[in-house]
Amino acid sequence: MSSPDPFDRHDHAACRKRALAQAEAICAERLTPIRRRVLDLLLESHVALGAYDVLQRLQAEGHRAQPPVAYRALDFLVANGLAHRIERLNAFVACHRPEKCEAPAFLICRECNRVAETASASRRGALARDARALGFEIEQTVIEAQGICSGCRTS
Amino acid sequence: MSSPDPFDRHDHAACRKRALAQAEAICAERLTPIRRRVLDLLLESHVALGAYDVLQRLQAEGHRAQPPVAYRALDFLVANGLAHRIERLNAFVACHRPEKCEAPAFLICRECNRVAETASASRRGALARDARALGFEIEQTVIEAQGICSGCRTS
DNA sequence: AAACGAGACGTTATAACATAACAAGTGTGC
DNA sequence: GCACACTTGTTATGTTATAACGTCTCGTTT
C-alpha cells in the first residue's frame, strides 16, 4: 500500500508500478508509449513537472519532441484522471489513485516543492453551500494550499 | 451596500467608489496614480483581467507602459489585499471588501467569465484538518470553482 | 547643502508557458 | 479501396511573466 502521506518516504517503485497498472486498466490501448512514458516521468518525480520539464526529459531520451507532444500527452493524462494540473505552479503531478480520485486538493511545499494530494471537501462543504445559494453550479474545483511540509519545517 | 451576490446586478459606481476609498485608507500615499488606476480598471470590469488586458487599457489612455508596469501594479494590489489573482485564468479581480477579506474562494462562470468572491471554509475545514494531520502548515490557499452561474444557465 | 537610501517607475530584452494549424501515419469498419 | 477516427510529427506563433538596469523623487542623515 502507498503511504497516505505523500511527504513521507514510501516505496516509490511499487507505487509507480501500481499507478501504471491502474492507468493501463483505465485506458487500455489508448495509453500509448508516449503517454505511458510521460505518466511514468511524473510518477518518478517527487515534484510537479512543467510541460517543458517533461519535454526536456523526453528529448534527453532521444525523442525529438516539440512542445505540443508534451502538452498533448499531459492533456490526455489529465482528461483521463491519471494526472493533475497544479495551476499555481503551471505544472503537473501524477495521480496516485486514479480510480478513487475525485475533487482532489493539493498541499504544495514552498521549500521542497513536493505536492501532496488529499481528498477535498465534498459537495457538502461551505463552498458548495455558498454556490448553491447563488444558483451557481460547480463543475470543477481547484484547491491548492501552499505552505511548508513537516520535513522542511523541522530542518 | 453591495449585493452579497456578485453575479447580481448591483450599483457598480457606488461599489467602486467604496472600494477605492477603502484602498486609500489601507495604503495611504502608497496608492499611487498608476496603482489606483489599475485597481479602478479591475473594479470597473465585471470579468477578471489579464495583465496584458490591463496593459492595453493603460496604453489606450496614453500611457506608454510596458509589461512590468502592469505586473508591478497588480502585484502591489495583490500583496495589499486589494486584488486577487485567479490562477485558473491567469488573471486578476478587484477585491470588493479588502478589509474583511480573508481566505477567499472564487466561483468562475465559464459562460460569462464573471468571477464571484465568497468566503472560503475556515481553518476548520476538511483541508485544514488533513494538513494538520500531515504536519503541513498552510500559509495560503487557492480555491477556485468553475461552473455556470444562474444567469447563464437559464439562458 | 550634499550625500544617501528607499521606493516607484521607465525601458529593453528575454524567459517561460501554451496552442493553432496542417501534414502524415495507423488501424477499423464499411 | 476508402472513409473515418485517432495519434503523432512539425512549424510557427501567441500569451504570460520576469530579469536587469537606469532614472527620478522624496525624505533623512550628515
Q: Tens digits of per-residue pLDDT, A5-17? A: 567 667 788 889 9
List B145's β-bridge partners, or say none: A141, B107
Nucleic strand D near CB of residue A34 (< 7 Å): yes
B101 sits in which H/E element = none
- pLDDT reading at A106 higher than 70: yes
B64 phi/psi in degrees, rounded to 5: -100, 60
Mean pLDDT over A115-134 rounds to 85
Using a 7 Å cut-off to protein CB atoms, list the covered nucleotides of chain D. 6-13, 15-20
- pLDDT reading at A3 higher than 90: no
Short-list A37, A41, A67, CA closest to A55:
A67
A112 close contact with B: CB closer than 8 A: no
| pLDDT bracket for residue B8 (50, 70, 90) | low
A81-95, A120-134, B30-44, B64-78 — which is least confidently predicted?
Answer: A120-134
A139 close contact with B: CB closer than 8 A: yes
Tell which CATH classification among 1.10.10.10, 3.40.50.150, 2.60.200.20, 3.40.50.1360 matches the domain B12-154: 1.10.10.10
Interchain contact, A146 vs B138, CB within 8 Å = yes
A58-62, B43-47, B98-102 — which is least confidently predicted?
Answer: B98-102
Q: Which of A109, A113, A134 to mutate to test the interface with B (most CBs of B within 10 A)?
A: A134
Short-list A95, A99, A67, CA closest to A82:
A95
Cell 488573471: give the residue.
B91
Short-list B89, B96, B120, CA closest to B20:
B96
Greater confidence (B125 vs A117) lies with: A117
List the 6-25 stretch of A: residues with Cβ below 8 A of B: 7
Burial label, A36 (beta-carbon count in 10 A; 0-12, 13-18, 19+): middle
| pLDDT bracket for residue B1 (50, 70, 90) | very low
Interchain contact, B131 vs A107, CB within 8 Å = yes
How far: B148 CA to D28 C1' (Å)? 55
- pLDDT reading at A65 higher than 60: yes
- pLDDT reading at A2 higher than 80: no
**Beta-strand (E) ranges in chain B?**
83-86, 91-94, 104-109, 115-119, 137-148
Average pLDDT, chain B: 91
B75-84, B88-97, B114-123 — which is least confidently predicted?
Answer: B114-123
**Alpha helices in B28-84, H assignment, sequence order:** 33-44, 51-60, 67-79
Mean pLDDT over B60-76 rounds to 97
- pLDDT reading at B129 higher than 70: yes
pLDDT at B67: 98
Interchain contact, B107 vs A139, CB within 8 Å = no
Q: A55 to chain B nearest CA, in Å?
A: 23
Mean pLDDT over A12-39 rounds to 92
A127 close contact with B: CB closer than 8 A: yes
Half-sphere exposure of B147 (CA within 13 A, CB side): 23
Distance separating alpha carbons of residues A127 and A146, to the nearest angstrom: 19
Greater confidence (A116 vs B122) lies with: A116
Q: Which of A7, A127, A140 sits opposite B121 (nearest CB)?
A: A127
